Chains A and B, each alone.
Chain A
Amino acid sequence: MGECLLEISQLGKTFGKHKVLHNVNLKVAKGEVFGFLGPNGAGKTTLIRVVLGLIRPDCGSILINGFNLQTNFRRAIEHVGAVVETPKFYPQLTAYQNLLLVKNLHRSLHKNRIGEVLELTGLIARAHDKVGTFSLGMKQRLGIARALLNYPKIIFLDEPMNGLDPQGIIEVRSLIHHLRQQGITLFITSHLLHEVEQVCDRIAIIKNGTIIAQGNLTDLLRSDCEVVEIYTKDILETYNALAGVAFVHKCTINQSSLLVELDKGSTEHLIPFLVRRNLHLQYVILRKYSLEDFFMQLASKEGNL
């Protein structure tokens, strides 16, 4: 891992008797896109709020860009951008005025920067329209524009795809790719595992306030076996043929196909094996071990996530 931009050590937070965060340790390197996953109520938003100084932790420390958040808040937060849950704005103010409210709190920023971020997020044409007239997708983009205003080194995006239509999701995704290319570190929480898998380099999974898995996405998704889906008219015959084959771990019958779990790299042996037995194969699909599979596997190990 390269230079560390965010370092969370032994973080804990309790609301009343409920332990919301327990001994959380995380490191996010400069320039990476970090995915933070977990079911509802696991502690994702609470962690983001603690890291942003909105909630006081009971114990532990947070370093952002080398500055301790508790003892040097202003320096630590100076180059941080955030969109926490659905971005909130003053509906009676225009998009430009809402961004002006943030610009006014950063002495070094020039007014031109507002135009730049509105241009970047495709909202320049609506700069002087009241935010009350904006769609959710536009508010989400305006939230990102606001997060970009202070030339952030790290941006926290809490459920950035939530409630967006497919077009909105594509727009936000391409914006994330654009930010990544600019070298901005991103910390993203999301329920949409497919989206996280597309954009993140590393992930952490939290459950009941505790991190249960953390690492490089490609390492976590590396599996010792592979899964193929076989479409054939001879389902039963194929199923029987595969019984007892050494490289096949598991075979299950789906509605119109067979799901076969086998040794990594064995697919190339599987097809000739079935062809030699004159079984009529329509097509064979190699199923990628996805983040969703990893998440579900973890769920079965850890009980219901």
Chain B
Amino acid sequence: MIGLIKNEWLKLLNNKKFYWFLLLLLIIYLFPVLMTLVVRMNTLNGQVYPLTVFGVITSFVMPLFLIVLIAEIVTEDYLSGNLSHTIIQPVTRWQIITAKVLFVFLLLITLMLFCLLLGYGIGCFIFGWGTDFMLRGASYTSLTGVKLTIISYLSASLPLLAFGLFVTFIAVIVQSGAAAVGISAGILFFSIMLELLTEIGPFLINNYFNTLPFILGAFVNPMTLISSIVFISCFGLLFYFLTLVIFIRKDMVL
């Protein structure tokens, strides 16, 4: 299993697309700086800067990155014939899928930490650390602010992983990388629209990408956080097992 995860890292670190994505993240993190300069507002500081960009990163950038990444490591790997070569090694099929899932989880945590450092780095460099941690009209101590920021960034890996498992399921059943990206992105945008227009938000996984409201809500009612974790876990496990069943039975004709 460790060998399979190491292989995924080796492939990723030799893929130019990954470095373009890191550059894209840098540009996104610089965007609020430009906006602040344009509107000449100076309410931001280094403490709150990471959470200013957090919503965009977890709701749009990371889900889209996950779709492209999983289409590549599952569907494209199968279509190129490389997955067949992994299967004929002394590893089982469930290990292959589980290793890909664990790799996605480790990558998500790494990327969220990278984003966190990027947020703090750019925020502090441009605006300085500042004196207050003001969030949604409330003031917190700097220490609470740092804790809230770190927990929000790291906890976002869980709903994103659950979404990643859904994308893996799509990637296993379709026969083209473009179809995997198209279907997954289509479902993501449809879910975002549904979340905005209807009351079924709690039953949509994208509702949980931005974990900050749930963490803040836990201060008032911890049950909200627990029910969210249960929903996310059930969603992820359902698609993990469906993926396993299909992948184990799949004939590798390429």
Contacts and interface: CB of A to CB of B under 8 A. Distances in A.
Interface string A123-147: 0000000000000000000000010
B251 A106 contact: no
Contacts of A73: 90, 92
B11 interface: yes
A176 to B, nearest CB: 20
Contacts of A97: 10, 14
Interface stretch (B80-88, B155-163, B239-247): B80-88
Contacts of B147: none
A84 B6 CA distance: 24
Interface in A65-79: 73-75, 77-78
Interface residues of B, number: 25
B252 A105 contact: no
- From A73, A78, A88, residue with most partner B Cβ within 10 Å: A88
A221 B81 CA distance: 37
Nearest to B84: A54
A88 B85 contact: yes
Contacts of B15: 92
A74 B95 CA distance: 12
Interface of A: 49, 52-56, 73-75, 77-78, 80, 82, 84-85, 88-90, 92-93, 97, 100-102, 104-107, 146, 150
Contacts of B253: 49, 54-55
Nearest to B91: A105
Contact of A88 (B10, B82, B91, B251): B82
B89 interface: yes
Contact of B90 (A78, A92, A146): A78
A150 B249 CA distance: 26
A92 B16 contact: yes
Given A80-B88, A97-B10, A104 B82 contact: no
7 contacts: A49-B84, A54-B252, A80-B88, A88-B85, A92-B14, A102-B89, A104-B4
A186 B4 CA distance: 28
